[in-house]
Structure 1
Amino acid sequence: MNRAIVSIWFPTFAIDRWSRISARQGEEARTLAPALLVTETAHGPAIDAANPLARALGAEAGMRLADARMLAPGIAAFPSDHEGDHRTLEKMALAAQRWGPWTMVDGQDALLLDASSSAHLFGGEAAMLADIEHRYGMEGYGARVALATNAGAAWALSHHGGERPVVTDPAALPAALAPLPAAALRLNADTRLLLSRLGLKTIGELMAVPRESLARRFRNRRSPEANPLHRLDQLLGRTHEPLVPLIEEVPPTADRRLLEPVLHAPLLARIVADLALDLARTLEAARLGARRLVLRLWRVDGDAIERAVELASPSRDPDHLARLFDERLDDIEAGFGIDQARLTAVWAEPLDQAQDRLDRERGKGTPLPMLIDRLVTRLGKANVACLAPRQSHLPERSQQRIAAGAEPPSRAQYDLDIACRPLKLLDRPEAISVIYLTPDGLPRRFRWRGTMHDIVKVEGPERISPEWWRQRSSTRLRDYYRIEDGEGRRYWIFRNGLVGDGRGGLPDWYLHGLFA
Structure 2
Amino acid sequence: MSVWLARLSVDRWRHALAADAAEASAPTALILETAHGPRITAANDAGLAAGARAGMLLADARALCPDLAAVPSDPAGDLATLEKLAVWAQRWGPWSALDPPDGLLVDVTGVAHLYGGEEALLRDVARAFARHGLTARAALAPTAGAAWALSHFGKANTILAPCDDPLRVLGDLPVAALRLDEDVLTVLRRLGIKRLGELAGVSGVGDDPAQEVAARDSLRRRFRNHRSPAANPLLRLDQLLGRVPEPLLPVIAQVMPMVQRRMMEPLRHRNLLDQVVEDLAADMIRTLEARGEGARRLELALWRVDGEVLQRRIELAAATREADHIIRLFAARLDDVEAGFGIEAVQLRASWSEPLTLDQADLDAAAENHGTALAACIDRLTVRLGPKAVTRPVLRASHIPERAQGWQPPLAPISPAQGALAFHSRPVKLFDRAEQISVLYASPDGVPQRFRWRGSVREVVRVEGPERIAPEWWRERSTARLRDYYRIEDEAGRRYWIYRQGLAGDGRGGVPDWFLHGMYG
Question: TM-score, normalization: structure 1?
Answer: 0.70
1:127 equivalent in structure 2: 120
Asked whether the 8 Å contact 1:12–1:142 carries over to 2, the reply is yes
2:286 equivalent in structure 1: 281
Specify every segment of 5 or more residues in structure 1 that has no aligned partner in the other structure, as ranges: 1-5, 392-399, 415-465, 476-516
Q: Are the structure 2 counterparts of residues 388 and 158 from structure 1 closer, same or farther at C-alpha, using a change threshold of 3 Å?
A: closer
Asked whether the 8 Å contact 1:388–1:408 carries over to 2, the reply is no
1:117 equivalent in structure 2: 110
Q: CA deviation at 1:390?
A: 9.0
* Pick aligned residue for 1:20 from 15, 21, 24: 15
For 2:84, give the aligned amino acid: K
User: Once the two structures are superposed, what CA deviation does each residue of 1:355-410 show, in whole Å capped at 9, x if it has no partner?
Assistant: 2779xx9586444347626743774348986999999xxxxxxxx99999545989
User: Once the two structures are superposed, what CA deviation does each residue of 1:300-342 show, in whole Å capped at 9, x if it has no partner?
Assistant: 3321111122334332122222232224334322233322221
Specify every segment of 5 or more residues in structure 2 that has no aligned partner in the other structure, as ranges: 205-211, 397-404, 421-463, 468-484, 491-521
* Pick aligned residue for 2:346 from 341, 348, 363: 341
1:91 equivalent in structure 2: 84
SS in 2 for 1:269: helix
1:307 equivalent in structure 2: 312
2:240 equivalent to 1:264: no
For 1:351, give the aligned amino acid: L
Asked whether the 8 Å contact 2:299–2:314 carries over to 1, the reply is yes
For 1:200, give the aligned amino acid: I
* Pick aligned residue for 2:180 from 175, 187, 207: 187
- State how far apart, in whole Å, the 1-side matches of 2:2 and 2:406 are: 53
Q: Are the structure 2 counterparts of residues 330 and 54 from structure 1 closer, same or farther at C-alpha, using a change threshold of 3 Å?
A: closer
Q: Are the structure 2 counterparts of residues 51 and 277 from structure 1 closer, same or farther at C-alpha, using a change threshold of 3 Å?
A: same
Q: Work out which of the two has the higher radius of gyration on C-alpha atoms and give 1 or 2.
A: 1
SS in 1 for 2:253: coil
2:13 equivalent to 1:8: no
Which one is further off, 275-284 or 257-266? 257-266
- RMSD across aligned C-alpha pairs, in angstroms? 3.5
Matches within 5 A, 1:42-191: 42-169=35-162, 171-191=164-184
Query: What count of residue pairs does the alignment treat as equivalent?
Result: 406
SS in 2 for 1:232: helix
1:290 equivalent in structure 2: 295
Matches within 5 A, 1:382-393: none
Q: Are the structure 2 counterparts of residues 202 and 390 from structure 1 closer, same or farther at C-alpha, using a change threshold of 3 Å?
A: closer
Q: Are the structure 2 counterparts of residues 387 and 155 from structure 1 closer, same or farther at C-alpha, using a change threshold of 3 Å?
A: closer
- State how far apart, in whole Å, the 2-side matches of 1:40 and 1:310 are: 31
Question: TM-score, normalization: structure 2?
Answer: 0.69
1:228 equivalent in structure 2: 233
Asked whether the 8 Å contact 2:394–2:408 carries over to 1, the reply is no
Q: Are the structure 2 counterparts of residues 375 and 66 from structure 1 closer, same or farther at C-alpha, using a change threshold of 3 Å?
A: closer
Asked whether the 8 Å contact 2:392–2:410 carries over to 1, the reply is no
- State how far apart, in whole Å, the 1-side matches of 2:466 and 2:353 are: 45
- State how far apart, in whole Å, the 2-side matches of 1:148 and 1:30 are: 40
Which one is further off, 331-340 or 101-110? 331-340
Asked whether the 8 Å contact 2:378–2:390 carries over to 1, the reply is no
1:213 equivalent in structure 2: 215
- State how far apart, in whole Å, the 2-side matches of 1:316 and 1:390 are: 32
Asked whether the 8 Å contact 2:79–2:100 carries over to 1, the reply is no
Q: Are the structure 2 counterparts of residues 264 and 38 from structure 1 closer, same or farther at C-alpha, using a change threshold of 3 Å?
A: same
For 2:26, give the aligned amino acid: A
Asked whether the 8 Å contact 2:139–2:159 carries over to 1, the reply is yes
2:245 equivalent to 1:250: no
- State how far apart, in whole Å, the 2-side matches of 1:374 and 1:204 are: 63
1:41 equivalent in structure 2: 34
